[in-house]
Structure 1
């Protein structure tokens, strides 16, 4: 970590001279000499940091030296950033013709020091402050450099470039099944205990009139960290036989600190599908008893630590209300914990170390995935088996080193790993420190910083990938030129994942299985905290005596789940003036009373703020000159942002996506020239009514939640839709709201059109029309908003035209479109030929109240002309092409006038909807019948028909004469009482 910070300092020093030259100003007299002096010192320090990081594990004095170096480097980085920011602001004022920067400044040569009378008084004070801060850090560096000789550090001869290791030729992550070796007998044993002694009928237990008084049987898997307890539990939890045996399956990660009410809430959320709003413990436990009563459930409590039996009394008391056949599976490192929770000695399952052969199987699949000749293979295997033997049967250690060595293609590199003295380290836990440290030290400096930063998050929390990358960006960990920061961050994330430092990936069902979020193994998380224990701190508001773990903290997360909304903000945070990150855990349910003016006055080094639940942002926010990331969380109180926010020229991310009551953005938002991500509310109930003028100046913007059209207002404060043309780098998802007035497209005398078509990185577009505008305008606006051919998801809402298909027919040009949603387009009588869309997988039609018939035009297929002539007035024709070739989900909702769904005869082996799996028809009371190509579908797995009287009478199992036509569908549900599933088969 120290090496990474020093590398950043050297990059900033080089940047300062470049910025000063470009600006034609020098804030500090003798700047070149000062920069050269700092550059020389930090180069000397960087040469010995690698040796110091290895020795810190055994030598306390070296660890202290490294600690001092890191904090001195942080201070230097802050003052250099302040210096660069001052230069940048002077540049901005010059370019805007600010009166505070006099005209002669434009003619000054770069090497000339600007006279002091050309600066404002505030700028003169700033110059003095920067110079003073540099001198103060200089004094700390004197001591650090002096001690280099005293410790006899070895100077590294391999001064790397700092570039991130390139990814191997295989571009996808290995299937995680490689982790599972040598556990089959344990899996079978635990599964047998879970299902033993139960009755065959689950219904009998659920309907029993007697509530069991004994607690559910508890089975505990025990073993040291990194041995695979959670992996085994997941295998069992996802086993089909086990899952089908129970009414309810629940997984809760307990971890530390223990909180029985949080566990109870997590169980409730799993059972109900949504979180409870209850605060009082008695209410929560009562809800849990009611939800669990009589049910045969399977509950996994993962990573349990508490050894106090009394902590479990209330929770287990509630769980007794379930069926006696219910089971609880616990994973813990400590057998005492298993006993404390009530596990009998016969139900404690110790998980043993893996055999050498099982370890080798895991290792070789990771490390030897490339092709080798016979001789090479033997040499690598010989060394590899010796490395595996040092892992002592721990799957996590094997996995970590296998992931490390897959990047090493030379036998000498493997030999160095085998002979490394770090194998002797045992400080972290059970022999895992050596492998983890070897993997960490192999990381380039930028990746070391990105990995270490993850220590700020609570153990077992899910890390949202895109948010994590934006936080890395806020700390300047992504050293990139231009606007490809998220691309670089994605590469950093994948590198860490490929080295097994992240796991448990949640992937998108589409986008090639792109990673959405992940977790860190608890041992890897412990290791990251070990590396950053004086930098990353967590403050738990549940503790009776609040105390920061480190008074030198640079990154702080406030955690816990409170039971009261009146808990004050921890006062000691105001004294942490060096903080760079302040994050409020999203699990916090309280609304702390934060003195923001005091916070902004004192914590001026902050670079990221996440989750502040406040109603008003004070003007003092402009003092946070380093701030790059501001996320206001789920905030129903905030209604506007101060203009002072626009003075934060370093701001990169502004997240107000859940601030639905926000009425306006700052009028001077165009000054935020470094803004990359503006995430505002996409929802139709958002109060934001227009976008301020100047949006076109945000040319680096990559993410924009929603652009709100002004409704044709002539106010000079509003940006028109044409300002989107300047935002050439937009990507991901975009919502356009308030559409429908032709004047939103720009001035009548301007030939420039709104251009969405060129934004090829947009994949998700939602068009929300204003119902109060003219139908004619709707058609004009829809015609102009042609999206790029790269689009994968499209939603159109509230459109008032009589046809949904623009005259240019651009909808049919969307060859990559996977999801299409048309909602409340009430005047539309006929649909475009959507069956022609080659990649469409999901189609949702809702509130199309003027549609009476779905004809063959909807299918978009070529018809046999002779057949059409012979059957001109019939509802049937012969198709020649496949319609909806990839459609899997089709939903019709609230189609109250829909009467006919035309049929077709299929010719020449062609098909209609050959992949359809899920069909829902809700609130379509006039629809008379389903076409034969639906009734005869062999792929259909689920058919839901809600409040559609004719269909119910025709196909219902009990009374419908045509029930045999749909009886082959595995899952069918009918109801005449709305969308609650009843009578499911």
Structure 2
């Protein structure tokens, strides 16, 4: 991770020097030398970071040194990003005044070159010198570790196997275990007096969750039980969270309840006299009292119900009252070899590779996850020496964190390039068993500066390649696929992989779930946390926030007072990512959001009370993603939205109250996604609202767009779209909204929709609320579009 941070810092330093030369703004005496010294120090450190990354696993002193390096790297990135933002603001101001008299233009430029900017430059130079001294200390401390230069991990992965092949569930040697488990789940006893609890016990990575999933999805099990529930328990155990997860699975809807007793009562009513299967995956707690309320509630169901538990500890199985333990053993060497050879896919006739491959498999000690990870890694290694290096590596000698499973995972981690290490490590921000949506993850990576456009590829495509790279190495699993085209849209991480990523990013990325009245974990150094995920049934404790350091603040379902939000915005000034998803307690976004000058990603979806967004939001010139999906009461977007020159994704689907799109959206030349556009025939003020599709004709949008037509009376509003040149648009929804009392005739409606000329690559067309009788238009070719009305 430190490697990527150093790379980002070096990029910022180069950008700083370039901007200074481009804008002709000179800093104070000695500043350039300070910047060049920072560059020199970072390059010297960069050369030995690969060795430091390896040694941190077994040397705490090295780990502490890397923490200090990361702190300085983050701080330098903040200082330089602030300055680059000032340069961007200057460019925008110049562009705004380009059409004004020269005298006014000069006064604007002079204001930014003298006045406050001079004070700003003094402040930044002071910060650079201070951080330079901190980096000097880190460089001096480096000497005592005697690091050696090591070549960085692979830059690219050969894309020789499809992602779908990686997604196949690779299972070996578990047929008997599965059949036995299914028999236990379906068995009945006339003398049964207690609810049976079956526990699968085994070491991490041995396949407990895989076995449970095989049984959970078995056809006979599906037809036998009335209800099936899957809950990932993990650590730390939280009784209310587990109960709410069970309730949400039963009702298929989120719960805002905060009282445990109320949740238990609702669970009882849902399962009363029903046969249910409850899977509690990855259980750790040894406290018997944690289970009492839950077990009492579950007795409401039929005695033919079953509870299935997976755990690494037999004592846990005994504490929760297990009636049958399945001790899961390791795979045989033949089964491991079968799995490994399928994934590694080397020349079967090459005896040298087969011989060394079997030696590597033997070191995996029969653990399926270890075999799968190394098989996926060695698929991309075609030289005998590379396989030999894996076999003889000192990584096998490490005794770290998780019994015999981390060394194989570390091989895959160390083989990554520095930026892929950072992308992978960032996933520690998500809790265990979290569904990671691919598009959202790519936007989060982009917000942190991990993705750069290259070789005529947009950042989003680079992110796609990074995601596929990690998936091919078996670092992601449980893929979610699109119902439309089968492409991967989401995934999870194996709990052991999640343990690894948490170990590597300890005190840097952190996920916490806080229930009402509970105290945060005391073993976490919150002042060093840079990326935080928090989920709470109440408010977020201020003690877990690092006001001046946090780069990511991802919140789900928490309660915020508007005064609290204002205070957060004034303090969390380094944020790149802010996600306030499905939160409640506030009705507007405070104007203090203007302080988040570094912000790239703002997600406010499912906040149904927000009606407007503050105009100052348009001063966040770095913003790349604005997501207000399903904010049902949102009536309008800020008028100055055209100033968001770096905006790439404007997600406004499900905003049923949105009245119009402001003028200026046509200036968003970076825009890649605009999933909804509104033309309102009642808005005639061209200075306020977009009144035709002309605003979209120069934007390269895709892949989906909802076009909402509100009281549109003039077909000319559609004729200017030039949709036929929009090759990226694949799915189009036409939604007619009639908000006036007058009824239009069928002929007028047909004329309006006839004016539209869809793009040539359109694959799916949906027409909603159309009042006309005719559904056959000149531009429709039979069988080309999927139509629904």
Please give the range of the TM-score, normalised by the shorter of the 2 chains: over 0.9
For the 8 Å contact 2:666–2:699, the answer to whether it is kept is no
State the SS of the aligned residue for 1:639. Answer: coil
Residue 9 of structure 2 is aligned to residue 9 of structure 1? yes
Between the aligned partners of 2:59 and 2:231, the Cα distance in structure 1 is 40
Q: Work out whether residues 594 and 616 of structure 2, in 8 Å CA contact, stay in contact via their aligned partners in 1.
A: yes
Determine whether 1:256 maps to 2:256.
Answer: no
Q: Structure 2 stretches of 5 or more lacking a match?
A: none
Whole-Å separation in 1 of the counterparts to 2:274 and 2:104? 82
Q: Which of 608, 628, 643 is residue 636 of structure 1 equivalent to?
A: 608
Which residue pairs with 1:356 in the alignment?
A: 333
For 2:553 and 2:112, how far apart are their aligned partners in 1?
37
Q: Secondary structure at the match of 1:595?
A: helix
Match of 1:147 in 2: 141
Cα distance per residue 1:383-412 (max 9 Å; x no partner): 111111111111111111111111111111
CA distance in 2, matches of 1:301, 1:229: 11
- State yes or no: 1:529 paired with 2:513: no
Q: Which has the higher helix share?
A: 2
1:378 alignment partner, one of 351, 357, 375:
351
Alignment partner of 2:300 out of 285, 297, 321: 321
Structure with the bigger RCO (C-alpha within 8 Å, sep 6+) is 2
Q: How far apart, CA to CA, are the structure 2 residues paired with 1:171 and 1:780? A: 46
- In structure 2, what is the equivalent of residue 702 of structure 1? 672
CA distance in 2, matches of 1:593, 1:198: 57
CA gap of 1:131–1:101, structure 2 versus 1, over 3 A, is farther
Q: Secondary structure in 2 aligned to 1:179? A: coil
> Aligned partners of 2:443, 2:17: CA distance in 1, in Å?
27
Give 1:973's aligned residue.
none
Following the alignment from structure 1 to structure 2, what is the Cα–Cα distance between the partners of residues 494 and 704? 25
Q: 2:115 aligns with which of 116, 121, 132?
A: 121
SS in 1 for 2:704: strand
1:846-885 deviation line (CA, Å, top 9, x unaligned): xxxxxxxxxxxxxxxxxxxxxxxxxxxxxxxxxxxxxxxx
Which residue in the other structure is 1:622 paired with? 594
Structure 2 CA distance, aligned partners of 1:341 and 1:309?
Answer: 6
- In the alignment, is residue 367 of structure 1 matched against residue 337 of structure 2? no
Contact 1:698-1:727 at 8 Å conserved across structures:
no
Matched residues in 1 for 2:782 and 2:28: separation?
58
What number of residue pairs does the alignment pair up?
Answer: 778
1:288: how far off? 2.0
2:473 is the counterpart of 1:499: yes
The 5-angstrom pairing of residues 549-698 of structure 1 reads 549-562=524-537, 567-573=538-544, 575-584=546-555, 586=556, 588=557, 590-591=559-560, 595-611=564-580, 613=583, 614-682=586-654, 686-698=656-668
Report the equivalent of 1:711. 681
Tell me if 1:47 matches 2:50.
Answer: no
Of residues 183, 187, 207, the one that matches 1:228 is: 207
Q: Is the 8 A contact 1:213 1:320 kept in 2?
A: no
Further displaced range: 213-222 or 490-499: 213-222
**In structure 2, what is the Cα distance between the partners aligned to 1:569 and 1:271?**
27
Counterparts in 2 of 1:640 and 1:428: CA distance versus 1, 3 Å: same
Instruction: Give per-residue Cα distances to partners, 1:585-633, cap 9 Å, x unaligned.
Output: x3x3645665222222221110000016332222222221110001113
User: Do the aligned partners of residues 602 and 288 (structure 1) sit closer, same or farther apart at CA in structure 2, a change above 3 Å counting?
Assistant: closer
Instruction: State the secondary structure of the residue aligned to 1:821.
Output: coil
For residues 169-194 of structure 1, the C-alpha deviation after alignment (integer angstroms, 9 at most, x for no partner) is 22333265552111112112222222
Say which SS state the counterpart of residue 610 (structure 1) adopts.
strand
Question: Normalising to structure 1: TM-score of the pair?
Answer: 0.75
Check whether the contact 1:742–1:780 (CA below 8 A) recurs between aligned residues.
Answer: no
Give the distance between the partners of 1:458 and 1:408, measured in 2 at CA: 32
Q: 2:750 aligns with which of 779, 783, 789?
A: 779
Quote the Cα distance in structure 1 between the aligned partners of 2:112 and 2:446.
Answer: 35
Partner of 2:125: 131
CA distance in structure 2 between the partners assigned to 1:745 and 1:625 by the alignment: 40
1:186 and 2:177 are equivalent in the alignment: yes
Output one character per residue of 1:316-352: Cα deviation in whole Å (capped at 9) or x when no partner.
Answer: 12222222222211111111111111113xx111101
CA distance in 2, matches of 1:249, 1:780: 51
Tell me the secondary structure at the aligned position of residue 820 of structure 1. Answer: coil
Q: Given that residues 682 and 705 in structure 1 are in contact (C-alpha distance below 8 angstroms), is that contact kept between their aligned partners in structure 2?
A: no
Give the whole-Å Cα distance in 2 for the aligned partners of 1:61 and 1:792. 57
Whole-Å Cα distance in 1 between the matches of residues 221 and 467 of structure 2?
35
- In the alignment, the residues of structure 2 paired with residue 450 and residue 429 of structure 1 have an alpha-carbon distance, to the nearest angstrom, of 22
Q: Relative to structure 1, is the Cα distance of residues 126 and 723 closer, same or farther in structure 2, using a 3 angstrom cutoff?
A: farther
Contact 2:697 2:723 in 1 (8 A): no
The question of 1:310 aligning with 2:289 is answered yes
Q: Which runs of 5+ in 1 are unaligned?
A: 109-113, 200-211, 823-985
Note if contact 2:603-2:628 (Cα within 8 Å) is conserved in structure 1: yes
Evaluate the alpha carbon distance shift between residue 422 and residue 96 of structure 1 in structure 2; reply closer, same or farther with a 3 A threshold: same
C-alpha displacement of 1:811? 2.1
For residues 645 and 30 of structure 1, the distance between their equivalents in structure 2, rounded to whole angstroms, comes to: 36
Q: 1:279 to 1:618 in 2, by over 3 A?
A: closer
The residue correspondences of 1:136-175 to structure 2 (distance < 5 A) are 136-156=130-150, 158=151, 164-174=155-165
1:753 aligns with one of 707, 720, 733: 720
Quote the Cα distance in structure 1 between the aligned partners of 2:100 and 2:419: 39
In 1, distance between residues paired with 2:568 and 2:380? 45
Inter-partner Cα distance in structure 1 for 2:667 and 2:357: 56
1:489 positional shift: 0.9
Residues 401 and 435, structure 1, Cα contact 8 Å, conserved in 2? yes
Q: Tell me if structure 2 keeps the 8 A contact 1:183–1:232.
A: yes
Partner of 2:372: 399
Partner of 1:295: 274
Match of 1:496, SS? helix
CA-CA distance at 1:740 after TM superposition: 4.8
Relative distance call for 1:73 and 1:244 in structure 2 (3 A) is: same
Offset from partner CA, 1:624-650 (integer Å, 9 cap, x none): 111000111321221111111111110
Q: Who is 2:462 aligned against? A: 488
TM-score if structure 2 supplies the norm length? Answer: 0.93
1:401–1:213 distance in 2 versus 1, CA, 3 Å: closer
Question: Which stretch has the larger CA shift, 770-779 or 471-480?
Answer: 770-779
SS of the counterpart of 2:647? Answer: coil
Q: Deviations over 1:669-697 (max 9, x none)?
A: 000010011111335xx221011110100
| CA displacement, residues 403-458 of structure 1 (integer Å, 9 cap, x when unaligned) | 11111111111111111111111212101221111111111122111101010111
Partners of 1:704 and 1:631 lie apart in 2 by: 15
